Structure 1
Amino acid sequence: MSRPTTKPSLLHGLAAVSFSATAGAAAALILTACGPGSTAATDDPAPQSSSAPQGLLTEAAAEKIVDTYQSVNNRANAVRDAKLLGTVEAGQVYEQNSADYRLFKTWPAKEQKSYTKAFTYEDREYLIPPASSGVTWFAVTSRSSDNPKGDRRSLAVFDKVGSTYKMVMALWTDTKSIPQIDTDRHGFVSPVDPAKKVGTLAPNEISAVYEDFFETGGKTASQKLASTPTTKESVRIYEDRNDGDSGTWSTTRFFAGDPAHPKVYALKLENGGVLALVPMAHTEEQILKPAYMGNFLLDPSKSEAAFDSTRRTVVTNEFQGQAIVELPRTGKPIAHDLEYQLVDSR
Structure 2
Amino acid sequence: MAHHARYRALSAAACLALLATGCTSPSADPAARTAETPLVTEAEANKVVDSYESLNNDANAELSAAKMANAEGGALLAKDQGYLTQTKGMAQKDVKENLAPFAYIDRTFFIPPVSAKADWFVLKAQGANLENGKPGTPWKQSIRFVVFKKAAAGWRAVLSGGFSGDDVSKVPQIAVDQDGLAEVVDPQAKIGDTAPADLAGMVADLYVTGARTTPLAETTVRNQAAAAKSSRESNLSGHAHTDFTKAEPRDGTTYALRTADGGALVLGDGAVDETLLAKDLNSYINLGKSLQPFVKNGTDRMYKVVIHDMLMQTAVISADGKPAVYGISRQTTSVDATPTSKI
Calculate percent identity across the aligned residue pairs: 27
- Quote the offset at 1:84 in angstroms: 0.9
**Residues 298, 262 of structure 1: CA spacing in aligned structure 2 closer, same or farther, 3 A cutoff?**
same
Aligned to 2:329: 339
Partner-residue secondary structure (3-state), 1:84 = helix
**Runs of 5+ in structure 2 lacking a partner?**
1-31, 130-136, 337-343
Aligned to 1:130: 113
Aligned AA for 1:216?
T
Aligned to 2:202: 209
- Quote the offset at 1:258 in angstroms: 1.3
Aligned to 1:235: 226
**Residues 172, 227 of structure 1: CA spacing in aligned structure 2 closer, same or farther, 3 A cutoff?**
closer
The answer to whether the 8 Å contact 2:128/2:139 transfers is no
- Quote the offset at 1:316 in angstroms: 0.6
Aligned to 1:330: 320
CA distance in 2, matches of 1:253, 1:53: 50
Aligned to 2:171: 178
- Quote the offset at 1:344 in angstroms: 1.1
Partner of residue 87 from structure 2, selected from 104, 112, 119: 104
Partner of residue 86 from structure 1, selected from 56, 60, 69: 69
Q: How does 1:1-346 map to 2 (within 5 A)?
A: 51-146=34-129, 147-148=137-138, 151-174=141-164, 175-221=168-214, 224-244=215-235, 246-289=236-279, 292-293=280-281, 295-308=282-295, 309=298, 310-330=300-320, 332-346=322-336
CA distance in 2, matches of 1:150, 1:216: 32
CA distance in 2, matches of 1:68, 1:79: 17
Aligned AA for 1:305?
Q
**Runs of 5+ in structure 1 lacking a partner?**
1-48
Partner-residue secondary structure (3-state), 1:248 = coil
Aligned AA for 1:254?
F
Give a deviation string over 1:46-104, Cα, whole Å, max 9, x none.
Answer: xxx98111001111211111111110100000011111110120111111111111111
Partner-residue secondary structure (3-state), 1:285 = strand
The answer to whether the 8 Å contact 1:254/1:285 transfers is yes
The answer to whether the 8 Å contact 2:162/2:326 transfers is no
Partner-residue secondary structure (3-state), 1:160 = strand
Select the structure of larger CA radius of gyration: 2
Aligned to 2:23: none
Q: As a proportion of its length, which structure holds more strand? A: 2
Give a deviation string over 1:142-177, Cα, whole Å, max 9, x none.
Answer: 211234266312100001222421000011423322
Partner-residue secondary structure (3-state), 1:252 = strand
Report the TM-score when normalising by structure 2: 0.81
Aligned AA for 2:234?
D
Aligned AA for 1:232?
N
The answer to whether the 8 Å contact 1:70/1:120 transfers is yes
Give a deviation string over 1:87-140, Cα, whole Å, max 9, x none.
Answer: 120111111111111111333343222234322111111111111011110111
Give a deviation string over 1:236-291, Cα, whole Å, max 9, x none.
Answer: 212233114x24221000001111000000000001111100212101110011xx
The answer to whether the 8 Å contact 1:199/1:327 transfers is no
**Residues 50, 127 of structure 1: CA spacing in aligned structure 2 closer, same or farther, 3 A cutoff?**
same
CA distance in 2, matches of 1:118, 1:215: 36
The answer to whether the 8 Å contact 1:119/1:145 transfers is yes
Q: As a proportion of its length, which structure holds more helix? A: 2
- Structure 1 runs of 4+ with >6 Å offset: none
The answer to whether the 8 Å contact 1:94/1:168 transfers is yes
The answer to whether the 8 Å contact 2:267/2:314 transfers is yes
CA distance in 2, matches of 1:145, 1:210: 28
The answer to whether the 8 Å contact 1:212/1:219 transfers is no
